[in-house]
Amino acid sequence: MQEALFILLPCIAIVALLYSMVGHGGASGYIAVMALCAWPAAWIRQDALMLNLGVSAIATWHFARKGHFNGSLFWPLVLTSVPMAFLGAKLQVETEVYKTILGVCLLIPAAVFLWGGPVAREKITAMPLWAGLGIGAALGFLSGITGIGGGVFLSPILLFGGWAGQKTTAATAAPFILLNSISGLLGTSLLRYQTDISIGYMLALALAGGFIGAYMGAGKLSEIHLKRLLGLVLVWAALKLIFQF
């Protein structure tokens, strides 16, 4: 366990920095490096949500103070995502099944990082209420089951749908992840998952990386090569989880 921490801790800081640049908490990245470091499966979901919470809170503050937050876009999403994240987190999933679900989910952000994902459309339209409620419910439930805050799925949806630009998407994803992470943590606490003192070290480095990344992301973005490298890490972790080697 101690040997794994020497690799895990700097990776946590790098993941937090990169994800926070686009308003994300970094859960899929944390889960990827935890899987590669053979972190105990019983701790992964709760630890990822804890790190997600801290980094997304910082990203929320940075992007909101720059005036990118859009309440009419945000509130329908979290109205359904928060209760569904709680319900998803309460589910007790067998370790093998959990790893497979998690591995498949990691392939989605990996694809976004490797191929860039959708770009913001020139014409932005209002998201229909039914779409916001439905998307929020689906992503919230997925967030609770896996420990991923949902931002890596929400951002491409908002951009592809033409419902937000890059900065507004980041400013929406950050608090979306924050609230889902809180709800998911409340759900997992009912299962009495355990962790150890190492979460304190991971959280400190995640907050440091998240602060720097969100500060940079609220201004300029120029992290394409590092994001592609992270995409490769996600692919490797996804394959490790799916095929359990």
For residue range 131-177, list pLDDT tens digits in order.
Answer: 999 999 999 999 888 888 888 889 888 988 889 987 888 889 999 99
How far apart (Å, rounded) are the C-alpha atoms in residues 241 and 24? 22
Question: Distances from the Cα of 66 to the Cαs of 59, 70, 168, 218, in angstroms?
Answer: 11, 12, 10, 7
Rounded-to-integer distance, Cα 24 and Cα 234, Å: 15
Q: What is the pLDDT of residues 86-114, one digit of tens each?
A: 999 888 778 788 888 888 888 877 887 77
Q: CA of 90: how far to CAs of 87, 93, 96, in Å? A: 5, 9, 17
Determine if residue 244 is left, alpha or beta; phi over 0 gives left, psi from -120 to 50 gives alpha, anything else beta. Answer: left
Question: Collapsing DSSP states into helix, strand and coil, what is residue 232?
Answer: helix
C-alpha span between 135 and 124 (Å, rounded): 18
pTM, two decimals, is 0.82
CB contact set of 116 (below 8 Å; sequence gap of 6+):
224
